[in-house]
Chains A and B, each alone.
Chain A
Amino acid sequence: MLLEAQELNYYYQDGEQLRYILKDTSVAFEKGKFYAVLGQSGSGKTTLLSLLSALDSPHSGKVLFNEQDIKKIGYEKYRRNNVGIIFQSYNLIPELTAMENVLVPMSITENEIPDDQKTVVYNLLDYIGIAKDKADRYVNKLSGGEQQRVAIARALATNVELILADEPTGNLDEDMEQEIVDIFKRLAHEHEKCVVVVTHSKEIAMQADQAFHLKKGVLSTYE
């Protein structure tokens, strides 16, 4: 398994009571597959993704990456070298061009990156569907779909095996949603990436190789 969550518990204190967001949640993900975690708002799916991406730490349980506890790897280092994260609101830096946004993680990671970084970035953006003329534009001059493509390119820039996406199509129309899902499927099936998407869209869940349902902090297989 590439990524494994073991008995994750995450809660918050409400007066004297503990309110569980995730309760004894265990799940495993492997390379070359496209996963979907389906759930309503407030079901805990974003919390699950934040724990899997090491943006937060569980109160108990652990996350293993290649059978190694990510806490031992170091959360910062894990984010830097092992995972690409895609957010619903893209989270690009508006003062930089699309190309520069993708260059940023390449300067942060310790993974091996080809010397000619700009060419790699242009090719990557082209593969995702951003032509060179758009790659040199500031990201706030691009459409929502284009910005999300840039965010996907950024997640792929450090050549990681694991892509975690939080409602990546939440701000996009249906046509664009399908284009993004197609990219994820391609990444999983053609490039052996492990793509985990948390979403409230049943359409996406239906297209996933495997889907889970998260309800009141309890994860189950989605049929």
Chain B
Amino acid sequence: MNFIKRGFLGITRKKGKSLILLAVIFILGNLISGAVSIQQSTDNVESTIKEKLGSSATVELDYEAIDELSEAELMDLEIQDVDIDLIKQIGGLSYVKYYDYSMPTYLGSENIESYQDEEMGEEVITHGPSMDFMLKGINYAPVLDFKEEKGKLVDGRVFTEEEIDEGDSVTIISKKLAEKNNLHVGDTFTLDSAVYDFDENGEEDLIGSRDVVLEIIGIFEPSSIKEDQDENPENGMMDMMDSEYQNTMYVPNEVVIAEENYQMEQLMQADEAFAAMLEEEEVTFENYTPIFVLNNPEDSEAFEEEVAPLLPELYTVVSATDQYDSISGPIDSMSKLAKYVLIASVIATVLITGLVVLLFLRDRKHELGIYLSLGEKRARVVGQILIEVMVIAFIGLTISLFSGKILAEQVSDTMMKADDHEPSFEDMMFVGEMQTNMTTDDVIDSYEVNLNASYIIGFYVISLLTILISTAIPLVYIVRLNPKKILM
């Protein structure tokens, strides 16, 4: 009949009190379990979404900093370009898995037709000369968009290093564009590099034109930018994004630069004042957008810290993971609420369980006095009570582990429905090359309350520690017990 056995007998022989304590711990355990469960789930959402957002980063003008400049400062402002050497230097950092820098230009064609989304119908009204095709110059031969699964190659091949370096007239076009114009790998087509000038009335005037003949080396398919979208009128923006990507043609950067140069030369020939101004200011036509894919999304912060000092004034690093904050609203508020509930429930558990245990101990004063009169060590009497409370607590908490999960699911559902809205353009992330169609709904969809190991361990550690603290306080009562006063 040692103190451990006495502890277990105390539970079974005092069923009423054990059940009351079990009920109290079960109720409080539900609060802790629910709060821990929501916290864990929101943490999981953050890592899942950041993983989905990818680990890309770019360097761009810090528009917020520019907005803060005074008018005088703006007048004197000379914005430097991010040159290729700097891009290569950043690309050489250990955080970077691979990188690219690209430059786009828009061309029209009389030889091929652009892809138009049927659902968009007549809604798209274009003004001015047709510039339906975006030539996306790239420097990374395997095509970074394919590596990042924005699109995938379904036919042909990607570029070779030689084609990129020498600026060969080769291209990779979308499957839908190829199908619409009955084009295949190995075929060639012609784009018009037309240069227009506009008079005072806004009338266009063709000042130069030349053919750009490209050979198709590969065909790609976008990775479902429109997938799973319902009949939401705001989806028009996504349709447009889809159409633009379908009409995108990957080419070596040199192809784009050649057309940019041609167009500028034509404009300079047509307008001497413009030519004089450009010569005076030594304007270059190479303006690249770099994109760096990091080894790990968690490296974003360290990457930003290391790159920031290398950048010209008024430039900043923007990471894909930065966008999480803009779409994490419902999850953030739930995470905050769960944190407050957890703190409140831990305090309530300490107070309520402590009070219940103290009342039970007062009720058992006589029994405890008997043990002490028999010479039992106070530590063992304390141990007996701890065993009783902790065994009941373990049972109560284990039941509440499951019911708390259900509670957490219900609370989360209600909260997210209250905060739910259709995906809108504002929710989507647009950061140049890193645009993604991820919305608040994706964040909510990623939310899932799971009984995983970290949740179970986290819950047991927090709740058992709370019960231990709440029991330890009234146990001081045992230490102060005087058996003579109780028994004689």
Pick 6 A–B contacts, CB within 8 A, sort by A: A46-B488, A76-B375, A78-B375, A79-B373, A81-B375, A104-B1
User: Which A residues between 89 and 112 are near B, CB-CB below 8 angstroms?
Assistant: 89, 91-93, 95-96, 100, 103-109
Task: Return the contact of A55 from the options B5, B376, B377, B484 (Cβ within 8 A).
Answer: B484
Measured CA separation A133–B1 after assembly (Å)? 20
Q: Are A96 and B374 in contact (CB under 8 A)?
A: no
Q: Are A93 and B370 in contact (CB under 8 A)?
A: yes
Smallest CB gap from B484: residue in A: A55
Chain A interface, >50% SS class: helix
Query: A166 near B: Cβ within 8 Å?
Result: yes
Measured CA separation A1–B480 after assembly (Å)? 34
Which of B8-16, B199-207, B325-333 makes up part of the contact surface? Answer: B8-16
B6 to chain A minimum Cβ distance, whole angstroms, is 7
Residues of B within 8 A of A79 (CB): 373-375
Instruction: Determine which residue in A87, A89, A91 has the highest number of CB atoms from chain B within 10 A of its CB, and name it.
Output: A91
Smallest CB gap from A49: residue in B: B488
B408 to chain A minimum Cβ distance, whole angstroms, is 38
Q: Are B488 and A50 in contact (CB under 8 A)?
A: yes
Smallest CB gap from A84: residue in B: B374
Interface size class of B (residues with CB under 8 A): 20 to 34
Q: Are A95 and B370 in contact (CB under 8 A)?
A: no
Q: Are A91 and B13 in contact (CB under 8 A)?
A: no
Query: B487 near A: Cβ within 8 Å?
Result: yes
Residues of A within 8 A of B2 (CB): 107
Q: Are A108 and B483 in contact (CB under 8 A)?
A: no
Residues of B within 8 A of A166 (CB): 488
Task: Return the contact of B377 from the options A76, A89, A103 (Cβ within 8 A).
Answer: A76
A-contact 0/1 string along B78-122, CB 8 Å cutoff: 000000000000000000000000000000000000000000000
Measured CA separation A104–B6 after assembly (Å)? 9
Residues of A within 8 A of B488 (CB): 46, 49-50, 55, 87, 166
Q: Are A91 and B375 in contact (CB under 8 A)?
A: no
Contacts A91-B366, A166-B488: A109 and B9 contacting too (C-beta < 8 A)?
Answer: no
Residues of B within 8 A of A107 (CB): 1-3, 5
B20 to chain A minimum Cβ distance, whole angstroms, is 16
Q: Are A106 and B370 in contact (CB under 8 A)?
A: no
User: Which A residues between 25 and 50 are near B, CB-CB below 8 angstroms?
Assistant: 46, 49-50
Contacts A95-B9, A95-B14, A100-B1: A87 and B487 contacting too (C-beta < 8 A)?
Answer: yes
Query: B367 near A: Cβ within 8 Å?
Result: yes
Query: B371 near A: Cβ within 8 Å?
Result: yes
B442 to chain A minimum Cβ distance, whole angstroms, is 58
Measured CA separation A210–B6 after assembly (Å)? 40
User: Which B residues between 5 and 56 are near A, CB-CB below 8 angstroms?
Assistant: 5-6, 9-10, 13-14
Chain B interface, >50% SS class: helix
Residues of B within 8 A of A187 (CB): none
Contacts A50-B484, A87-B488, A95-B13: A104 and B371 contacting too (C-beta < 8 A)?
Answer: yes
* Chain B interface residues toward A at CB < 8 A: 1-3, 5-6, 9-10, 13-14, 366-367, 369-377, 483-484, 487-488
A155 to chain B minimum Cβ distance, whole angstroms, is 9
- The A/B interface has a contact count, at CB < 8 Å, of 64
Measured CA separation A2–B377 after assembly (Å)? 25
Measured CA separation A78–B373 after assembly (Å)? 10
Measured CA separation A25–B366 after assembly (Å)? 30
Smallest CB gap from B486: residue in A: A91
Measured CA separation A36–B376 after assembly (Å)? 28
Measured CA separation A87–B483 after assembly (Å)? 12
Residues of A within 8 A of B366 (CB): 91
Smallest CB gap from B376: residue in A: A108
Query: A150 near B: Cβ within 8 Å?
Result: no
Residues of A within 8 A of B373 (CB): 55, 79, 85, 91
Residues of B within 8 A of A106 (CB): 1
Measured CA separation A77–B13 after assembly (Å)? 29
Q: Are A103 and B9 in contact (CB under 8 A)?
A: no
Query: A80 near B: Cβ within 8 Å?
Result: yes
Residues of B within 8 A of A136 (CB): none
Q: Are B484 and A96 in contact (CB under 8 A)?
A: no
Contacts A56-B484, A87-B487, A91-B487: A104 and B374 contacting too (C-beta < 8 A)?
Answer: yes
Contacts A91-B370, A93-B370: A108 and B10 contacting too (C-beta < 8 A)?
Answer: no
Q: Are B13 and A55 in contact (CB under 8 A)?
A: no
A45 to chain B minimum Cβ distance, whole angstroms, is 11
A161 to chain B minimum Cβ distance, whole angstroms, is 15
B34 to chain A minimum Cβ distance, whole angstroms, is 35
B292 to chain A minimum Cβ distance, whole angstroms, is 70
Measured CA separation A76–B2 after assembly (Å)? 17
Residues of B within 8 A of A103 (CB): 1
Residues of A within 8 A of B370 (CB): 91-93, 104
A197 to chain B minimum Cβ distance, whole angstroms, is 14
Smallest CB gap from A105: residue in B: B374
Residues of B within 8 A of A95 (CB): 9-10, 13-14, 367
Smallest CB gap from A55: residue in B: B484
Measured CA separation A92–B371 after assembly (Å)? 10
Q: Are B367 and A93 in contact (CB under 8 A)?
A: yes
Measured CA separation A79–B376 after assembly (Å)? 9
Residues of B within 8 A of A96 (CB): 9, 13
Measured CA separation A95–B13 after assembly (Å)? 6
Residues of A within 8 A of B3 (CB): 107
B-contact 0/1 string along A66-78, CB 8 Å cutoff: 0000000000111
Residues of B within 8 A of A87 (CB): 487-488
Instruction: Determine which residue in A46, A78, A107 has the highest number of CB atoms from chain B within 10 A of its CB, and name it.
Output: A107
Q: Are B483 and A55 in contact (CB under 8 A)?
A: yes
Q: Are B484 and A108 in contact (CB under 8 A)?
A: no
Measured CA separation A77–B374 after assembly (Å)? 9
Smallest CB gap from A80: residue in B: B375
B453 to chain A minimum Cβ distance, whole angstroms, is 38
Residues of A within 8 A of B487 (CB): 55, 87, 89, 91
Residues of B within 8 A of A55 (CB): 373, 483-484, 487-488
Residues of A within 8 A of B13 (CB): 95-96
Residues of B within 8 A of A154 (CB): 374
